[in-house]
Amino acid sequence: MTTPTMDKMLKAYVDAAAIERMKCGRPEKGTVKNTKQGVKRFVRWMNERRLKNGYDYKDLEDGFPLVSVVKPALIHKYLADLLKGGTRPITAMTYIYQLRQLFSRWVRPYYEDHGWKVPMFPSFGKKPMAPRYSRPSREMLGKVKEWYRSMPIDQLWFVTTMMLEFAMRNGDIMRLGRRNFVEREGRVYLNYTPNKTVHSSARTVKWPVHPEIWNKIQTLMEGDQLPTLDDDIFIRLNQKMRDMGFNGPKGAYELRKICVDHVYQKFGAEMAVSISGDDIKTITYYYADPAQPNIGDIRVTDLI
């Protein structure tokens, strides 16, 4: 067994990811892209550190670092330098997690096929939790509601509806087919497994489609096929959301959050899990503030 350089290991990872994606749809291209960025960022930092401070790593081959250099002390130093350089803690940990993808369990058999000995990624603690969801102001929610109700029935309306009414993610919408709308006992249900959680919870979403919404969707269908979406549809939607005051990089995604948040507040965590496909821990952490329950004046004895 030999020890590969990190650049050879990255190339093998990219090739293996393409094979796995054909078999099971994972990892997504975005994940691979982030992994490549994370590895290149780390190697660049190593080389800059070596030149600046005169470090001479012994684990080199043709000027490239062997993967054996990835040890706890070096990861901790990398993290410390990121923070000293002004990187936010949650962003710095994201960079670490991007690098760790190179050491994922699913790719190890491919490394073994190359005859490589790859160490386990060092343990370095848990990634900081993202802040809780901050509900938009009534004014911003009012703008969304007014805009949505006035939309013509077109591609943009379809995408907006799937996010705002059904809490779908961008990629899942692009993968939707007529097969995902199941008719049963006179009702139509949206039935799909979110791609993000297909290898974790693998929870299937089965959510009723309001007859009015289904009728409108049918007007957009081409025969028995859902409308074909333009590549720039989410760019247009992101821009529209920014026009209404949602300033994040993924304005369209705020529609999904609005949906999950309102289902959670109105019907509770289990219903929010049902419509989103997310784990209940994610729902209760991200959308709930246990110190601020959304209830009026009640007496527990009235519930008995």
- The model's pLDDT over 164-213, given as tens digits with 9 standing for 90+, comes to 999 999 999 999 999 999 999 889 999 999 987 765 666 889 999 999 99
Query: Residue 127 to residues 67, 97, 103: CA-CA distances in angstroms?
Result: 23, 8, 17
> Which residue's structure tokens are 């089965």?
206
Does residue 27 or residue 257 have the better pLDDT? 257
3-state SS, residue 212? helix
Q: What is the predicted pLDDT for the residue at 41?
A: 92
User: Residue 25: left (phi > 0), alpha (psi -120 to 50), or beta?
Assistant: left
Does residue 249 or residue 19 have the better pLDDT? 19
Contacts 24+ apart (CB under 8 A), 189-197: 190/166, 192/168, 193/277, 194/168, 194/169, 194/276, 194/277, 194/278, 195/25, 195/26, 195/28, 195/169, 195/171, 196/169, 196/171, 197/277, 197/278, 197/279
Q: What percent of the chain has pLDDT over 70?
A: 86
Angle of helix 138-149 versus helix 155-164 axis, rounded to 10: 140
CA dihedral 105, 107, 109, 112 (to 10 degrees): -110
Query: Residue 288 to residues 17, 89, 285: CA-CA distances in angstroms?
Result: 36, 23, 6
Q: What is the predicted pLDDT for the residue at 150?
A: 96
Return d(Cα 42, Cα 84) in angstroms, integer: 15
pLDDT digits (tens, 9 = 90+) for 95-110: 999 999 999 989 999 9
Give just the sign of the alpha carbon dihedral 71, 72, 73, 77: positive
Return d(Cα 289, Cα 210) in angstroms, integer: 30
Q: What is the predicted pLDDT for the residue at 112?
A: 92
Within 10 Å of residue 85's Cβ, how many Cβ atoms?
9
> Which residue's structure tokens are 């939309």?
151
Return d(Cα 176, Cα 189) in angstroms, integer: 13
CB-CB contact of 190 with 167 (8 Å): no
Q: How far, rounded to the nearest angstrom, does the alpha carbon of residue 117 sit from its chain's CA centroid?
A: 31
Query: Residue 181 to residues 63, 66, 191, 206, 218: CA-CA distances in angstroms?
Result: 55, 50, 6, 9, 11
pLDDT exceeds cutoff 90 at 139: yes
Return d(Cα 105, Cα 280) in angstroms, integer: 25
In 3D space, the residue among 192, 171, 150, 185 whose CA is nearest the CA of residue 277 turns out to be 192
pLDDT exceeds cutoff 80 at 131: no
3-state SS, residue 171? helix
Tell me the H-state helices in 70-226: 72-84, 89-100, 108-113, 138-149, 155-164, 170-175, 211-220
Averaged confidence pLDDT in the chain: 86
pLDDT exceeds cutoff 60 at 146: yes
pLDDT digits (tens, 9 = 90+) for 208-245: 999 999 999 999 998 889 998 988 999 999 999 999 99
Return d(Cα 124, Cα 76) in angstroms, integer: 7
> Which residue's structure tokens are 């994201």?
94
3-state SS, residue 184? strand
Band the pLDDT of 62: cuts 50, 70, 90: low
Q: What is the predicted pLDDT for the residue at 65?
A: 78
